[in-house]
């Protein structure tokens, strides 16, 4: 059983089905009927794509692949079964509120994050005062709001745009970064850039941290810190920035924020796209007698404990070896987590608090390519354990893998640009690479039109792969 049909869950289910025998079953439990290629939500949010171009229905794809699909939200783990019946199962709830028991032999938790707009007063598109691109519907709402702002500017009005993080513990700074540079490009394309004021607000200590502690990027014969790289991109595009900030409240026309030095500030806006912090989806766990054991399987933030070292230690003692390798639950050998659902042992960026005790530091990112690689590795381990292996057979530590990212900086076939980046390893390893924690030969960055064409290619290629079209398995994660 796989819980969740995002990048990690869909990857795990697809490979498990291919590798398992015909007599074995694969079941995916997910509350959403559609798959969403989340990276392209950015383009939906500036009006370049419609939601249907970044989504597709899961049921027919899974039916064709021989995967059972249950559209429901997982609510409870019962890894020991009930009473005399020791068959482990998950309780899932469908859209009508009906609950059902779904048994499993092996389980992969790939539920992804809960979007915690509630952590900041007034944050979010549903009852709040800000927009989002986390989901296709949110992104379409942002695109419609952008159209309204453009019409105002065409009538001669000046408008203020605010993009970034809606809380001091947010992650996915890269997604918001992509959105603001695409927004700036689109305003230029529509001929209204001179009437727009753009501001970036972030919990990063410096620009370009991205929850990864920053990077030293090789390119053009130089090594450039990602802080300078990002500042240059913003300066070229006349984007102002506010760093080291925790947004404490969003009002209809302004945000109130606290900075790392404890000062209070405010920033006005007419249009705000602010990402929320993440948590686990709130799964509960119970033993065979019905006693709750949630804290044994999950951290307080709702993410699942796996084979990581969660010992509380100061930042100076953190090591790459703290990070999980197999993503197996330490409590139950037949339970795994993949993608955002697993609990990181600690942040990657330096943890920081204001004098008021407010945490203002990015959480570690683990979306996209890492999620897919983890999902595939976990699926292989499960398949091998079903075949008789005593323990997981595959590893996918973020401290031992690299990642590639193409960050759109303006979509146009002739004038568009994108930042092409590679980083190795994702989690810095200062024992192997004492200077910066990463291999300088494997950490690269360059911006240009070629990157935009690669981004377009990846959009179509990964949607093709996700639809399980012929040859999908040969497309790398």
- Give the bridge partners for 223, in sequence order: 218
* SS3 (DSSP) at 133: coil
Structure tokens at 321: 């070896």
Q: What per-residue confidence (pLDDT) applies to 313?
A: 93
68 close to 24: Cβ distance less than 8 angstroms: no
247 close to 165: Cβ distance less than 8 angstroms: yes
pLDDT digits (tens, 9 = 90+) for 272-329: 999 999 999 999 999 999 999 999 999 999 999 999 999 999 999 999 999 999 999 9
* SS3 (DSSP) at 234: helix
- Please classify residue 103 by burial: count the beta carbons closer than 10 Å to its beta carbon, then call 0-12 exposed, 13-18 middle and 19+ buried: middle
Length of the chain: 477
Phi/psi of residue 66, each to 5°?
A: 80, 30
Alpha-carbon gap, residue 300 to 130, rounded angstroms: 27
- Give the bridge partners for 353, in sequence order: 359
* SS3 (DSSP) at 461: helix
Q: What per-residue confidence (pLDDT) applies to 227?
A: 95
Domains belonging to the chain, first-starting first, are 2-115+278-354+363-386 (3.50.50.100)
Q: What per-residue confidence (pLDDT) applies to 348?
A: 95
Q: Would you list the DSSP string of 164-203?
A: EESSTT---HHHHHHHHHHHHHHHHHTT-GGGEEEEEE-S
Q: What per-residue confidence (pLDDT) applies to 410?
A: 87
Question: Which parts of the chain sit beneath pLDDT 70?
Answer: none
Cis peptide before 425 (omega within 30 of 0): yes
Q: What per-residue confidence (pLDDT) applies to 218?
A: 82
User: Pairing state of beta strands 27-30 and 68-71?
Assistant: parallel
Q: Would you list the DSSP string of 340-407?
A: GGBPPSS-SSPP-B-TT--B-SPPPP--SHHHHHHHHHHHHHHHHHHTT-SS------TTT--EEEEE
Phi/psi of residue 198, each to 5°?
A: -110, 135
CA 450 to chain centre: 25
Alpha-carbon gap, residue 52 to 268, rounded angstroms: 33
* pTM for the structure as a whole: 0.96
Among 332, 335, 325, which Cα is nearest to 393's? 325
pLDDT digits (tens, 9 = 90+) for 23-59: 999 999 999 999 999 999 999 999 999 999 999 999 9
Dihedral over alpha carbons 232, 233, 236, 237 (to 10 degrees) = -150
364 close to 171: Cβ distance less than 8 angstroms: yes
């Amino acid at each position: 059983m796989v819980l969740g049909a995002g990048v990690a869950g869909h990857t795990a289910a697809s490979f498990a089905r291919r590798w398992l025998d015909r007599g074995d079953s694969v079941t995916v439990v997910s509350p959403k009927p559609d798959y969403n290629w989340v990276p392209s939500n950015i383009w939906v949010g500036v009006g370049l794509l419609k939601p249907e171009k970044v989504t597709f229905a899961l049921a027919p794809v899974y039916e064709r692949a021989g995967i059972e699909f249950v559209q429901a939200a997982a609510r409870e783990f019962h890894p020991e079964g009930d009473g005399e019946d020791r068959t482990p199962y998950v309780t899932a709830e469908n859209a009508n509120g009906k609950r059902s028991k779904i048994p499993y032999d092996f389980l992969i938790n790939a539920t992804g994050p809960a979007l915690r707009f509630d952590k900041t007063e007034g944050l979010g598109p549903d009852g709040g005062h800000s927009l989002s691109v986390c989901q296709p519907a949110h992104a379409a709402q942002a695109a419609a709001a952008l159209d309204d702002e453009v019409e105002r500017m065409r009538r001669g009005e000046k408008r203020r745009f605010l993009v970034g993080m809606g809380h001091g513990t947010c992650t996915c700074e890269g997604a918001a970064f992509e959105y603001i540079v695409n927004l700036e490009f689109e305003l230029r394309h529509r001929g209204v850039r001179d009437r727009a004021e753009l501001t970036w607000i972030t919990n990063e200590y410096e620009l370009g941290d991205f929850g990864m502690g920053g990077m030293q990027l090789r390119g053009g014969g130089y090594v450039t810190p990602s802080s300078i790289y990002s500042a240059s991109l913003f300066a070229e595009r006349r984007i102002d920035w506010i760093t080291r900030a925790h947004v404490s409240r969003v009002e209809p026309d302004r945000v109130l924020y606290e900075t790392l030095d404890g000062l209070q500030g405010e920033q006005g806006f007419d249009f705000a796209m602010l990402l929320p912090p993440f948590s686990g989806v709130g799964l509960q766990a119970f033993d065979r007698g019905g006693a709750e054991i949630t804290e044994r399987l999950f951290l307080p933030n709702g993410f699942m404990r796996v084979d990581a070292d969660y010992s509380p230690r100061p930042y100076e003692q953190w090591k790459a070896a703290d990070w999980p390798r197999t993503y197996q639950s330490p409590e139950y050998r037949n339970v795994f987590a993949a993608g955002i659902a697993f609990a990181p042992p600690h942040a990657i960026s330096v943890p920081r608090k204001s004098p008021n005790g407010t945490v203002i530091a990015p959480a570690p990112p683990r979306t996209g390519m890492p999620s897919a690689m983890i999902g595939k590795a976990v699926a292989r381990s499960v398949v091998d354990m079903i075949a008789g292996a005593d323990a997981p057979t595959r590893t996918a530590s973020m401290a031992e893998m690299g990642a590639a990212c193409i960050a759109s900086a303006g979509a146009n076939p002739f004038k568009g640009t994108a930042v092409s980046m590679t980083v190795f390893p994702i989690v810095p390893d200062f024992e192997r690479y004492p200077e910066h924690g990463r291999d300088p030969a494997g950490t690269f960055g360059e911006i240009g039109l070629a990157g935009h064409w690669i981004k377009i290619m990846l959009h179509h290629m990964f949607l093709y792969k996700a639809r399980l079209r012929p040859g999908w398995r040969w497309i790398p994660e």
